[in-house]
Amino acid sequence: MANQTVKRRTFLKASVGALAFPYVVPSSVLGQGGAIAPSNKIAMGAIGVGPQGTGVMRGFMAQNDARVVAVCDVKSNVLADRKALVDAHYGDTGCAAYGDFRELLARDDIDGVSIASCDHWHVLHAIAAARAKKDVYLEKPMGLSMAQDQALRAACKRYGTVFQFGTQQRSDRQFLQACELVRNGKIGELKTINVWSPGSSAGGSPEVVPVPEWLNYDFWLGPAPATPYTKDRSSNSLWWFISDYALGFIAGWGVHPLDIALWGGGDKTACNLEIKGAGVFPTEGVANTALNWDVKVQFESGVRMNFTGYPFPEEWKKRYGRTSDHGTAFEGTEGWVHVDRGGINAHPQSLLTTEFGPNDTRLYKSTHHQRNLLDCMRTRAATVCGIEDAVAADTLCQLSDIATRLEKKLKWDWKRERFIDDPAADRMLSRPMRSPWKL
């Protein structure tokens, strides 16, 4: 893709090993009536089209200058349904369907991909996309280890990938406002950040059952250990909480408010830190990620951060008033600001009517996460949550998970991305992958 324009081949070129585009194309697709011509549209593929992946894909389908041309999933029933959804949206049968992500990435007419596969596949899919010269929208969290995060960052830099992390709160006005208030010292000197998210779930039957006929289970497992299929193992309500496939909601949900904590904290949270945590883990069933956690972080700058799953301490509810099962609250010497998807509140309330001056720090403004990626694909500019910010947010998730498992104080070197004088903790920064998959 060249600067300022997307180097699109054509919508009418036959796809590799899949359905070709129809010979009869609606006039709107051909650029009549003020619509955008096919040669100027960004062609997107979608890898992993479960509930979350479908939501992200719909965000791209809503953009007039983009078109979803291919979908991929290892669940054949889901794949067929999503192809039908895309075809109905465009009024033709042009969406190709793949069970193997490598076939989708082999197409030279695809400019970018959205990736919303299971967490243990995220990095492998994204690295393969970068190597195939596709730009990437990656659902959060990033990887199952720091080594995976680092490998993806290196690939994005090597191949010039325009990368957007699925921390879509950065494209919501109230989160931008909260972080700008903090960055500009409107709450005084930042002292404490309180962060919370929904906790994980327990359960999952250990009973071994036949693999559903619609699931390519070996491909679903991919780099994860070979494990007999148990009831509902591949269900979106269960795999999130099995450590072979995810870190649980300490990362899967926690990355959202943690990302906002870093965005608002700026340099004060981009420094060496000490971290200690404890977690409550399931005692039966196949789910084995922390149900809840209490993580304390002391940044070298002097800022403290408390990170927990919901329910959070009762005193926070009393202090911040309107709260929900997730949120980020910044406390300073002259006030506080609390933000979640339900809105923003502050003390004093006059903070919410603050008018920023020409000398104030203004953060990157995006009003739509998918739209932001498409714009940056054309200009090759940085997105609102690029690879460096994504790795930083995921790092706090990784450290929190490790801290809850070791239950001892750990020191982290932010620049070297290693623990300080703790080889045992360093060994937890990577994990093996089942052959033939590797970074």
What's the confidence (pLDDT) of residue 8? 37
Residue in 73, 28, 30 with CA at minimum distance from that of residue 50: 73
Nearest to 306 by CA among 191, 410, 390: 191
Is residue 233, in this structure, part of any structural domain at all? yes
Task: Give the pLDDT score at 40.
Answer: 87
Share of the chain above pLDDT 90, in %: 90
128 vs 317: CA distance, rounded Å = 44
* Rounded distance between C-alpha atoms, residue 243 and residue 139, angstroms: 18
Whether the CB-CB separation of 120 and 223 falls below 8 Å is answered with yes
In this structure, are 175 and 260 located in the same domain?
yes
Contact 115, 122 (CB under 8 A): yes
Same domain flag for 243 and 339: yes
Query: String of b and e for 17-56 (b: at least 16 CB within 10 Å)?
Result: ebeebbeebeeebeeeeebbebeebbbbbbbbbbebbbeb
Q: Please tell me the pTM assigned to this model.
A: 0.91
Model confidence pLDDT, tens digit, residues 123-145 = 999 999 999 999 999 999 999 99
Q: What percent of the chain lies above the pLDDT cut of 70? A: 91
Residues 162 and 191 in one domain: no
Q: Quick one: tokens of 248?
A: 């649980």
Final residue before a domain boundary, out of 151, 169, 187: 169
Is the Cβ–Cβ distance between 321 and 352 less than 8 Å? no
Q: Note the pLDDT of residue 425.
A: 97
Rounded Cα gap, residues 37 and 60, in angstroms: 17
Q: Mean pLDDT of all residues in the chain?
A: 92
Mean local confidence (pLDDT), 378-386: 97
Sign of the dihedral defined by the CA atoms of residues 183, 187, 193, 194, in that order: negative
pLDDT tens digits, one per residue of 193-206: 999 999 999 999 99
Which band of pLDDT confidence, cut at 50, 70 and 90, is reported for residue 11? very low
The SS3 of residue 251 is helix
Domain finish residue from 153, 169, 185: 169
Q: Are residues 165 and 208 in the same domain?
A: no
Please say if the pLDDT value at position 389 is more than 50: yes
- Count of residues for the chain? 439
Spacing of C-alpha 406 from chain mean position: 26
Res. 214: pLDDT tops 80: yes
221 and 139, same domain (yes or no): no
| DSSP assignments along 124-185, one per residue | HHHHHHHHTT-EEEE-SS--SSHHHHHHHHHHHHHHT--EEES-GGGGSHHHHHHHHHHHTT
Of 354, 197, 167, 188, nearest to 262 by C-alpha is 167
Question: What's the pLDDT band for 9 if we cut at 50, 70, 90?
Answer: very low
Residue 116 reports pLDDT greater than 50: yes
Same domain, 336 and 199: yes
Q: Do both 134 and 241 map to the same domain?
A: no
149 plus 213 within the same structural domain: no
Domain co-membership, 60 together with 141: yes
Let me know if residue 5 belongs to a domain. no
pLDDT at 2 over 70: no
- End-of-domain residue from the set 169, 192, 215: 169
Residues 219 and 269 in one domain: yes
CATH of residue 43's domain is 3.40.50.720
Average pLDDT rounded to a whole number, residues 213-238: 97
Q: How many domains is the chain built from?
A: 2
What is the average per-residue pLDDT within 244-254? 98
pLDDT of 80 reads 98
> Is residue 34 pLDDT above 70, yes or no?
no
Closest Cα to residue 285, out of 319, 342, 242? 242
Q: How confident is the model at residue 35 (pLDDT cuts 50, 70, 90)?
A: low
pLDDT average, residue stretch 246-274:
98
DSSP annotation of 15: P
Average pLDDT over residues 361-377: 98
Same domain, 68 and 204: no
Q: Which residues pair with 98 in a beta bridge?
A: 72
Total H helices, total E strands in the chain: 13, 15
Rounded to whole angstroms, the Cα distance separating 303 from 185 reads 14
How would you label 310-332 residue by residue, b for 16+ Cβ within 10 Å and e otherwise? bebeeebeeebeebeebbbbbbb
Q: Which domain holds residue 38?
A: 32-169
User: 92 and 188 share a domain?
Assistant: no
